[in-house]
Amino acid sequence: MTKSLVGHSKDLGANFIIRRVLPAMEKRSVGPFVFFDHFGPVPVVTGEELVVRAHPHIGLATITFLYDGVITHRDSLKVEMDIRPNETNWMVAGSGIVHSERSKFDPKYEILEGIQTWIALPADKEEIEPSFEHFSEQEIPVLTKDGLVFRLLGGSYLGLRSPATVHSPLFYADIEIKQSADLVHWDLTDKEEAGLYVSRGAIESNGESYAVGSMVLFEKGTSVSFKAKQNSRLILLGGEPLTEKRNIFWNFVSTKQENIERAKERWAKDEFPKVPGETDRIPLPT
């Protein structure tokens, strides 16, 4: 029987609901991916549906991908960037970065919905310099066939290579698939594992049905195999798992607990770099 995860709902306030799939008790990570949130859909009324005040990260890369709506990213590298549907923001925290995320009103969009993931950095790159990359829809490699659109958001897969800078072997993709499309069957190497998340619609994989909020897991050396039961939107993620155990506290990820303790101390003492224009910040959890 194919293994799977089901995201649990969490209210971030003001009825802004997310589905958190990773980490889970059954599976802490998929490839190097240690965190997976599906946020929304929520109606856009004021444009202030999502307000995430300034907060820090270490030891990871965050990726934001939107289906609908607009979010403004600001960070301590002095980057300010709007992200729109079918675009990605890649932020490498490394030794430490601070950022904020705020939705904004745009009459083109009636809802706000997207995916945010975290990728753990290899142990020897956990403390690299922070960086930020934004990719427009036109910069993202696309593979199309009957009833299928495959956008490679990061890494390498199916002969495509993303322009996003990655620090370990991985793949990360957005998939639109129609009910009329053929059965999909993509082989994994004996070093790769994968997860396939259902954002919209429903699929069948190895005789089991999966609805919105489910992530189907595929072990190393098997095949990503599925058929759309209705027009669907999916996220494929995976790659080679990192060998070292990761400690996770709040927004901090590291192979070394002392790095996390130091980051906690730095944030409590307001020693992280500042985000220009942000005067409010999220306090350290107690």
- Cα 174-236-217 angle, rounded to 5 deg: 155
**Beta-sheet strand order (sheet of 33-43):** 8-11, 17-22, 33-43, 111-120, 60-68, 88-92, 131-135
Q: What is the DSSP letter of 185?
A: E
Residue 99 annotated as part of some ligand binding site: yes
Which tokens sit at 156?
Answer: 């390498």
Amino acid making up residue 46: T
Residue 55 annotated as part of some ligand binding site: yes
Phi, psi of 186 (to 5 degrees): -120, 125
Do you find a cis peptide bond into 122, omega within 30 degrees of 0?
Answer: no
Taking alpha carbons only, the member of 242, 241, 234, 224 closest to residue 185 is: 224
Task: Report the C-alpha gap between 213 and 109 in whole angstroms.
Answer: 22
Residue 126 annotated as part of some ligand binding site: no
Q: Which residue has the tokens 């909020």?
A: 213
Q: Which residues fall in the annotated binding site?
A: 55, 57, 99, 101
Q: Which residues fall in the annotated binding site for Fe cation?
A: 55, 57, 99, 101
